[in-house]
Structure formats: C-alpha cells, structure tokens
Amino acid sequence: GAGVSQSPSNKVTEKGKDVELRCDPISGHTALYWYRQSLGQGLEFLIYFQGNSAPDKSGLPSDRFSAERTGGSVSTLTIQRTQQEDSAVYLCASSLFQGLTDTQYFGPGTRLTVL
C-alpha cells in the first residue's frame, strides 16, 4: 500500500515568510510524528499526535512552530516568520501505535531552505 507522503518535496522561502508543510500518513495509522534533520542538530523530534489526544509539543523549538492534524489523518506543520536556522529536512512519520512496540514509517521529507 501507499507509504507516508509529504509535500512539497522542496521549499525555498525568504526569511520572515510563513511556510506550511503537509504530511499524509499511512491509512489507518493513528500516530503521527514530525521530526527535522539539520546539519547542526541531527535528527530531532518536534511534535507527536496520537488519536484524539492532545498533541505532545515538547520538541517544538519555538512558538513560531505549530502543527495540526485534521480528522485524525493529514497533518500540517506551520512555521511562521521563518529564520535561516529553520533550514532543514522536515520528516513526517506514522505508526499504528501498538503500545510498547511501535514501528514508525517515514515519508521522504520536505527540504526547507530559508534564504
């Protein structure tokens, strides 16, 4: 079946602009995660949605970052007033949330470049 998809695959924006990144998880997966990968910080967790529970936002680096998940499926990560340090690959993952054994499946990522 289809895997996790993300759009756009590449995004170039100017400093100060807002951007929206989209993630379509695997159908039936109840958990959805956002991570980002940058040269300086490696791979780091941003935010996590599980079913109808309140999201775990503990990884968001600043209040310029927010995410929502509509209808328990598609998720959008929004970065307001982008800064150059936001340049990174943003990766989305989804899982069935099988309790303690939970394999996360990743999308191809969105490469964000802030000029």
Partner 1 sequence: SQQGEEDPQALSIQEGENATMNCSYKTSINNLQWYRQNSGRGLVHLILIRSNEREKHSGRLRVTLDTSKKSSSLLITASRAADTASYFCATDRRNAGNMLTFGGGTRLMVKP
Shortest distance in whole angstroms from residue 91 CB to partner 1: 7
The contact mask relative to partner 1 for 94-113 (x = CB under 8 A, - = no) is: -x-x--xxxxxxxxxx-x--
- Report phi then psi at 112, rounded to 5: -100, 130
- Give the contact letters, 5-44, x = binds to partner 1 (CB under 8 A), - = no: --------------------------x-x-x-x----xxx
91 with 37: CB under 8 angstroms?
yes
Identified binder of partner 1 from the candidate list 24, 26, 48, 69, rule CB under 8 A? 48
- DSSP H or E segment with residue 34: strand 31-38
Q: Is 20 helix (H, G, I), strand (E, B) or coil?
A: strand
